[in-house]
Amino acid sequence: MKRWAVWVCLISGWLLGATALTGGAQPRGAAGKPAELKIVEIKEPGGQILSYRHDMGSTEVSMRGTKLAPEARIKLKVQSRPGFVEVDINRGAISGLKPARRLGKDFLTYVFWAVSVDGRAENLGEITFAGENPVSINVTTSYQTFWLMVTAEPDYAVVDPSPNVILYSASSEGAKKKASVGGVLFFYTHYTGYDSAPGAAASAPNELLQARKAVELASKSGVLAAEHPVGASGSKEEEHARETLKQAEAFLAQAEAAHKSNPGGSDVVQLARTAAQIAENARALAQGAVGGVSNRQLESELARLRAELAKRPGEVSRPPEEPPEAPAEATPVEPPAPEPLRGIARNPIAWFGLIGWGLALLLLLRRRGA
């Protein structure tokens, strides 16, 4: 086999293996690139993870404010039922929580999350306000072992939480005796690039403000921020993300028109929340939080590299003195063991990358022995 083909195999295996081991992470801020998956650890005292059995009855849980809201508190009850766990915040049980806009112009509401022991966060619902007073909610989760948190968010429909954790489930004697399990409070997220600079107050309904912000963030995210799709014609995921963003913009335009004609009408809220939800779907696709955009981009980049090397075999006939280094921006995510091994086992690209490495090594050894 020609030397240039050997080096194509080497580079291909390196690219695929490195990307698989980092979970497809890409540098944030580069146009057309999905967001890097990051770990956020709650470095606050007394964090508690609870496990709920169907026959254990209700458990009283306390949530404590972080440094961002030291006065905030929530008292709630958690009870396991067949197929789900119910989380109930009693009326008046939220105290010391101020509207989210004080944290920056990108933050317009709070979202309640259940976080599994392996760091996956599930959006349970929005904590709304009646004037300056937070409204209690009753929600459910499919998790059996988890901890709870509240984060400041740009809108109610976010797929991943922001790093701005406002409250977290803290240790209490009753819960500790019943269901407490050990572990560090942490979660994964693609969404970390928020603007915490103060913003001007607006007179529009909060739902409409959320829709505007959701469309704005989606249009600046991943492949949606690029002028043209990453491949010759763009992958199906990229095309779907762009079509989804157009739908969100259309619903936002309807919400704006409804607000202009009748500011107090119910259509404003309905259209705005629909726009925010669709915009978040587009953002999640573009950032790689869901779907296969990052994998498609890797395949496109690999195909381009192979074609480029095939045109110039003479330029790569001599192997480089040092192996190529991974881009500095693509920082590998380091989840607690044994999660990295599980991610590799479940990712076909990881196996393909390892096979590429092995094939390239075998070809080199055969050439030396010839």
DSSP string, 45-95: TTB-EEE--TTS-EEEEEEEE-TTSTT-EEEEEEEEETTEEEEEEEEEEEE
Name which residue leads in pLDDT, 300 or 180.
180
Q: pLDDT category, 225, cuts 50, 70, 90?
A: confident
Residue 73 reports pLDDT greater than 50: yes
Name which residue leads in pLDDT, 132 or 182.
132
Rounded CA-CA distance 80/199 in Å is 41
CA distances to 70, 203, 340 from 276, in Å: 30, 18, 33
**What pLDDT is attached to residue 32?**
55
Rounded to a whole number of angstroms, the CA Rg of the chain reads: 24
Task: Quote the mean pLDDT of the chain.
Answer: 77
Name which residue leads in pLDDT, 368 or 97.
97
**What pLDDT is attached to residue 141?**
94
6-15, 47-56, 291-300: which is most confident: 47-56
Q: pLDDT above 90 covers what percent of the chain?
A: 46
Residue 109 reports pLDDT greater than 90: yes
Q: pLDDT category, 244, cuts 50, 70, 90?
A: very high
Q: pLDDT above 70 covers what percent of the chain?
A: 64
Q: pLDDT category, 16, cuts 50, 70, 90?
A: very low
What does pTM read for this prediction?
Answer: 0.70
**What pLDDT is attached to residue 4?**
45
**What pLDDT is attached to residue 74?**
96
**What pLDDT is attached to residue 335?**
47
Name the 3-class secondary structure at 128.
coil
Give long-range contacts, CB 8 A cutoff, 24+ apart: 252-257.
252/211, 252/212, 252/215, 252/279, 255/208, 255/211, 256/208
**pLDDT tens for each residue of 287-342:** 877 655 544 554 555 565 556 656 655 544 444 444 444 433 434 444 444 444 44
What is the distance, to the nearest Å, from the Cα of residue 251 to the centroid of all Cα atoms in its chain? 24
Rounded CA-CA distance 64/167 in Å is 5
CB count within 10 Å of CB 227 equals 6
Residue 25 reports pLDDT greater than 50: no
CB 150 within 8 A of CB 113: yes
CB 105 within 8 A of CB 210: no
**What pLDDT is attached to residue 319?**
42
CA distances to 99, 101, 189, 195, 216 from 105, in Å: 12, 6, 20, 7, 12
**What pLDDT is attached to residue 238?**
83
What the block records as the tokens of 105 is 């112009």
Name which residue leads in pLDDT, 22 or 44.
44
CATH class of the region 38-189? mainly beta
CB 97 within 8 A of CB 67: no
Residue 13 reports pLDDT greater than 60: no
